C-alpha cells in the first residue's frame, strides 16, 4: 500500500451552524448524503488509497463521531484528539502533532468529499495541495502558482489575486516543518480573521523553502448548507449504480434506500436518500434526504432534508373540479 506510514488528520470539531437544525442533534460529519454519513465517504476514500492511520480532531458532539468511527472503522489505527476551543483549522491540526508526527500527513477536512488523481500521493514524493477554480475566491484560502508550484497562500483575501481555491485536502511530506510553523504562529499569536489558520502555517513553510504542488480536484462536493448538501446528494447518487425495485411502489433512480427502510405505496426518486429505519407511506419524494427512523406520510416532497426520528405527515385533498377550471394548490 503506497500510503502506509501516512497519518490522515481529519478535523471534525466544527458545529456546522449552516446545517441547523440538523446539527443540533447530529454532528455535521455524520449527516447522511447519498446513503452514508459525510465522514464515511471520506474515510472510505482514504482507505481506498491505502491510508491506515487516522487522527480525528473532535469537539462538538465528539462522542458520537468517536462511537461511529470505532464501530465502522475499528480495523484502522485510530486516535481521537479533543479540540476544546475552536481557535481555527491551524489550531486543530496543531493539536494532532503528538499523534501524527513522524511521517507525512494528509489533512482532509471532515466536511469535504472530493475526487482527484490520488495516485499522485506518494511517500517521499511532492507535497500536494488540493485546489480548484471557484467563482468567489474571497470565501476560501487561495493559492498563487508559478512554474507549477505554489508560491503564495492567502486565507480569504479581500482582493484575491487568483481564483484557485484551497479545497481542504493537503498532503504534506515534511510534517515536522508543518508542526513547527503551526507552533510558531500560535506562540506568536499570528491570527487571520481571528483564527490560527492552516493556510498561514503553509505560507510560512513556503517561505522556509518547502515545495508544494497543486493537486487539481476533479469534483468537490461541499456539504456545508442544505442547498449544497442536496446538490452533493444528487451528484453522488448520479455516480452510484444501484438498481432497486420495491413492490407496490415506484422507484425512480438514482436513489439510496437502506435495506430496512419501509416504503409503501409511494413514488421515490430521483435523487432520494432514505436512511435506515425510515418509513415512507403514500408519498411522492424527490431530491431529498430522509434520515434514520424518520416517518413521512401522505405528502409530496422536493428539496427536503428530514431529520432523524422526525414525523412529516400531510394530507391529500379531495377536489370536485369542473371542466376548463384552473386549480393551483400551493
Range in contact with ligand G1P (rule: CB under 6 A) among 56-64, 165-173, 237-245, 271-279: 165-173
The bridge status of strand 149-155 relative to strand 36-37 is unpaired
| Subset of residues 27 to 56 that bind ligand G1P, contact rule: CB under 6 A | none
Task: Figure out which of the listed residues 89, 96, 178, 206 binds ligand G1P, where binding follows CB under 6 A.
Answer: 89
Residue among 233, 255, 231 at smallest CA distance from 245: 255
Q: Report phi then psi at 44, rounded to 5.
A: -60, -40
Contact track, ligand G1P, 217-256, x by CB under 6 A: ----------------------------------------
Q: How far is 105 from 262, CA to CA, in rounded Å?
A: 43
Give, in order, the Cα–Cα distances in Å from 206 to each of 52, 144, 200.
28, 12, 10
Q: How far is 38 from 204, CA to CA, in rounded Å?
A: 31
Considering the complex, what minimum distance in angstroms separates the CB of residue 310 from ligand G1P? 28
Asked if 11 touches ligand G1P (CB under 6 A), the answer is: no
Considering the complex, what minimum distance in angstroms separates the CB of residue 61 from ligand G1P? 18
Helices (H), 11-158: 22-25, 38-48, 62-72, 89-95, 97-100
Range in contact with ligand G1P (rule: CB under 6 A) among 2-10, 197-205, 270-278, 299-307: 197-205
Give, in order, the Cα–Cα distances in Å from 144 to each of 21, 138, 213, 233.
37, 14, 11, 31
Considering the complex, what minimum distance in angstroms separates the CB of residue 94 from ligand G1P? 14
Residue nearest to ligand G1P (CB): 141
Query: Strand, coil or helix: what is 36?
Result: strand
Q: Within a 10 A sphere around the Cβ of 74, how many other Cβ atoms?
A: 8
Helix axes of 198-207 and 175-187: crossing angle, nearest 10 degrees: 110
Give the angle subtended at the CA of 120 by the CAs of 131 and 155, to the nearest 5°: 25
205: cell is 513553510
Closer residue to ligand G1P in complex, CB, 140/179: 140
Considering the complex, what minimum distance in angstroms separates the CB of residue 6 from ligand G1P? 21
Asked if 170 touches ligand G1P (CB under 6 A), the answer is: no
Asked if 110 touches ligand G1P (CB under 6 A), the answer is: no
Q: How far is 241 from 256, CA to CA, in rounded Å?
A: 10
Task: Figure out which of the listed residues 10, 55, 58, 140 binds ligand G1P, where binding follows CB under 6 A.
Answer: 140
Closer residue to ligand G1P in complex, CB, 193/317: 193
Asked if 199 touches ligand G1P (CB under 6 A), the answer is: yes
Asked if 165 touches ligand G1P (CB under 6 A), the answer is: yes
Closer residue to ligand G1P in complex, CB, 32/203: 203
Task: Figure out which of the listed residues 30, 39, 107, 166 binds ligand G1P, where binding follows CB under 6 A.
Answer: 166
Closer residue to ligand G1P in complex, CB, 11/253: 11
Q: Which residues bind ligand G1P (CB under 6 A)?
A: 89, 109, 112, 140-141, 155, 165-168, 197-199
Amino acid at each position: 500500500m503506497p500510503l502506509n506510514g501516512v497519518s490522515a488528520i481529519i478535523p471534525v470539531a466544527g458545529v456546522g451552524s449552516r446545517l441547523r437544525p440538523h446539527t443540533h442533534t447530529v454532528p455535521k460529519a455524520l449527516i447522511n448524503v447519498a446513503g452514508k454519513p459525510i465522514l464515511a465517504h471520506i474515510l472510505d476514500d482514504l482507505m481506498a488509497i491505502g491510508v491506515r492511520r487516522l487522527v480525528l480532531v473532535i469537539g462538538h458532539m465528539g462522542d458520537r463521531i468517536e462511537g461511529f468511527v470505532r464501530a465502522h472503522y475499528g480495523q484502522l489505527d485510530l486516535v481521537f484528539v479533543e479540540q476544546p476551543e475552536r481557535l481555527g483549522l491551524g489550531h486543530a491540526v496543531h493539536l494532532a502533532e503528538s499523534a501524527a508526527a513522524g511521517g507525512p500527513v494528509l489533512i482532509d477536512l471532515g466536511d469535504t468529499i472530493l475526487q482527484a488523481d490520488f495516485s499522485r500521493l506518494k511517500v517521499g514524493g511532492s507535497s500536494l495541495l488540493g485546489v480548484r477554480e471557484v467563482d468567489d475566491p474571497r470565501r476560501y484560502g487561495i493559492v498563487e502558482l508559478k512554474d507549477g508550484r505554489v508560491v503564495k497562500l492567502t486565507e480569504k483575501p479581500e482582493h484575491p489575486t487568483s481564483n484557485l481555491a484551497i479545497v481542504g485536502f493537503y498532503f504534506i511530506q515534511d510534517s515536522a516543518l508543518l508542526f513547527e510553523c503551526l507552533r510558531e504562529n500560535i506562540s506568536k499569536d499570528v491570527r487571520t480573521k481571528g483564527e490560527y489558520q492552516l493556510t498561514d502555517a503553509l505560507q510560512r513553510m513556503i517561505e522556509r523553502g518547502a515545495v508544494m504542488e497543486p493537486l487539481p480536484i476533479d469534483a468537490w462536493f461541499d456539504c456545508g448548507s442544505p442547498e449544497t448538501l442536496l446538490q452533493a446528494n444528487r451528484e453522488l447518487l448520479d455516480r452510484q449504480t444501484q438498481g432497486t425495485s420495491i413492490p407496490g411502489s415506484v422507484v425512480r433512480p438514482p436513489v439510496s434506500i437502506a435495506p430496512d427502510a419501509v416504503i409503501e405505496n409511494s413514488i421515490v426518486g430521483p435523487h432520494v436518500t432514505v436512511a435506515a429505519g425510515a418509513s415512507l407511506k403514500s408519498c411522492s419524494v424527490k431530491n431529498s434526504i430522509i434520515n434514520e427512523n424518520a416517518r413521512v406520510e401522505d405528502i409530496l416532497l422536493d428539496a427536503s432534508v428530514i431529520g432523524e426520528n422526525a414525523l412529516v405527515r400531510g394530507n391529500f385533498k379531495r377536489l370536485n373540479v369542473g371542466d376548463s377550471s384552473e386549480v393551483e394548490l400551493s
